[in-house]
Amino acid sequence: MKFLDQCKITIRSGNGGGGSVSFRREKFIEFGGPDGGDGGKGGDVWAEAVEGLNTLIDYRYQQHFKAKTGGHGMGQNRHGADGEDVVLRVPVGTQILDEDKETVLADLVAAGERVLLAKGGNGGFGNAHFKSSVNQAPRRANPGLEGEERVLWLRLKLIADAGLVGLPNAGKSTFLRAASAAKPKVAAYPFTTLHPHLGVVDLNENERFVLADIPGLIEGAHEGAGLGDRFLGHLERCAALLHLIDATSDSPTRDYRTVRAELEAYGAGLEDKPELVALNKIDALTEAEVNRKRAALSRAIGKPVLITSGVSGAGVVEALRAMAAIVRGRDAEDRAPSPLSADEWTP
């Protein structure tokens, strides 16, 4: 299935049905009267987050959605039927933005969440609605109200607890394969990963988290170099980042600073997220070389450096446990009750 994380759609809610002008004309009934029914309400347009979807590819082939018009009122006080709603089924983690592509209208982060995007027009009143003691035979009815038409953007940000970042060929996909049951493509050339992948990490029976792998960043990604930095949006919901650095590189410190510069250029809080740094592909070096490069990198960046290998599995569990601890801390903060202010306190 092709991965698509951003698309433009046009929606329109249904028009309301028109009211009816009608009078009773029945044999043996001496006095008739107005009996025109009201029109039905136009259909609404909703968006609903559902499980089992991880791409917006359905909206690649259909971009226009229109709800049904409400039925017109009829004689004998018969009201028109309400128009059928349109429900857009989107993956969990989808943001809905206005046409300016900046104003966020909704952020659907849990399965079952629904948001009204366009309200259907109300149905018009029939002439029975206007009868009174001084107007016993009204000959007017209201037309239904027009529906709303909007142009919206759908943007998917995957729901992941932790994310992998690094240069192309830093071993991120191999690490994800070693840490989970996910099977991203692995090859000996840059940009093997063309779109994000998710994997579920099971540390034990009671602890698991979702790990995201995104395409590699290169210098100038924020200006469109390589695959650009658009896929960094999928890491905005993560609690922690694991920065993988190729141990066989001539300058691991330069590689680290290149990726950090791109994270800072992207913004959105990624540069402030808790970060673990790991020297990857240690299976390709001797132990002495690994220790030398690890010490040099740690001195240069001023933080401890893990050592890992997705091929041999060395250090993978330790890195996963460190990420799980950060995720656990974030979840504990989310569950903690907020302290009450003096004005809010009650005995």
Tens digit of pLDDT for each residue in 134-169? 988 899 999 999 999 999 999 888 888 888 888 888
pLDDT reported for residue 145: 93
Q: Nearest-CA neighbor of 328 among 164, 209, 236, 234?
A: 209
Residue 314: phi and psi, rounded to 5, are -65, 130
Question: Average pLDDT of 65-93?
Answer: 93
Q: Does the pLDDT at position 65 exceed 90?
A: yes
Cα 227 to Cα 273: distance, rounded to the nearest angstrom: 22
Cα 188 to Cα 46: distance, rounded to the nearest angstrom: 45
Retrieve residue 134's tokens. Answer: 């001084």
pLDDT reported for residue 48: 94
Q: What is the band of 339 on the pLDDT scale with cuts at 50, 70, 90? A: low
User: What is the DSSP annotation of 261-305?
Assistant: HHHHHH-TTGGGS-EEEEEE-GGGS-HHHHHHHHHHHHHHHTS-E
Site of tokens 């907020």: 338
Find the helix packing angle between 316-335 and 172-179, rounded to 10°: 80
From-to residues of CATH 3.40.50.300 in the chain = 162-335
Question: Average pLDDT of 99-111?
Answer: 89
Cα 304 to Cα 88: distance, rounded to the nearest angstrom: 46
Cα 106 to Cα 114: distance, rounded to the nearest angstrom: 9
Q: What is the band of 337 on the pLDDT scale with cuts at 50, 70, 90? A: low
Q: Does the pLDDT at position 229 exceed 60?
A: yes
Retrieve residue 218's tokens. Answer: 């290169």
pTM: 0.76
Q: Does the pLDDT at position 331 exceed 80?
A: no
Query: Which residues are CB-contacts of 227 (< 8 A; sequence separation ≥ 6)?
Result: 191, 194, 215, 216, 221
Any alpha helices (H) in 36-189, and if so which ranges? 58-61, 172-179
From-to residues of CATH 2.70.210.12 in the chain = 1-156
CATH of 162-335 given 3.40.605.10, 1.25.40.10, 3.30.70.1060, 3.40.50.300: 3.40.50.300
Q: Which residue has the higher pLDDT, 228 or 124?
A: 124
Pairing, β 94-97 against β 104-108: antiparallel
pLDDT reported for residue 198: 84
Beta bridge partners of residue 155, listed in sequence order: 6, 95
Q: Mean pLDDT of all residues in the chain?
A: 86
Phi-psi region of 268 (alpha: psi -120 to 50; beta: other; left: phi over 0): left
Cα 144 to Cα 335: distance, rounded to the nearest angstrom: 47
Reduced to 3 states (helix: H, G, I; strand: E, B; else coil), residue 332 is helix
Q: What is the band of 82 on the pLDDT scale with cuts at 50, 70, 90? A: very high
Contact 96, 9 (CB under 8 A): no
pLDDT reported for residue 79: 93
pLDDT reported for residue 334: 63
Instruction: Read off the pLDDT of residues 303-315 as tens digits, 9 standing for 90 and up.
Output: 898 988 888 888 8
Instruction: Please give the share of the chain, as a percent, with pLDDT higher than 70.
Output: 93
Type of residue numbered 308: T
Q: Does the pLDDT at position 171 exceed 80?
A: yes
Instruction: Please give the share of the chain, as a percent, with pLDDT higher than 90.
Output: 30
Range scoring the smallest mean pLDDT among 38-47, 64-73, 167-176, 217-226: 217-226
Cα 294 to Cα 247: distance, rounded to the nearest angstrom: 9
Q: Does the pLDDT at position 344 exceed 60?
A: no
Contact 127, 22 (CB under 8 A): yes
Cα 297 to Cα 212: distance, rounded to the nearest angstrom: 25
pLDDT reported for residue 2: 65
pLDDT reported for residue 328: 85
Instruction: Read off the pLDDT of residues 244-272 as tens digits, 9 standing for 90 and up.
Output: 998 888 888 998 898 888 888 887 888 88
Q: Does the pLDDT at position 91 exceed 80?
A: yes
Question: Average pLDDT of 71-88?
Answer: 93
Instruction: Read off the pLDDT of residues 281-296 as tens digits, 9 standing for 90 and up.
Output: 888 888 898 899 889 9
Beta bridge partners of residue 197, listed in sequence order: 213
Range scoring the smallest mean pLDDT among 112-121, 152-161, 210-219, 240-249: 210-219
Range scoring the smallest mean pLDDT among 4-8, 68-72, 190-194, 207-211: 190-194
- In 10 A of CB 197, how many CB atoms? 25
pLDDT reported for residue 220: 77
Q: Does the pLDDT at position 78 exceed 80?
A: yes
- In 10 A of CB 250, how many CB atoms? 7
- The CATH topology of domain 1-156 is Spo0b-associated Gtp-binding Protein; Chain: A, (2.70.210)
Cα 68 to Cα 83: distance, rounded to the nearest angstrom: 5
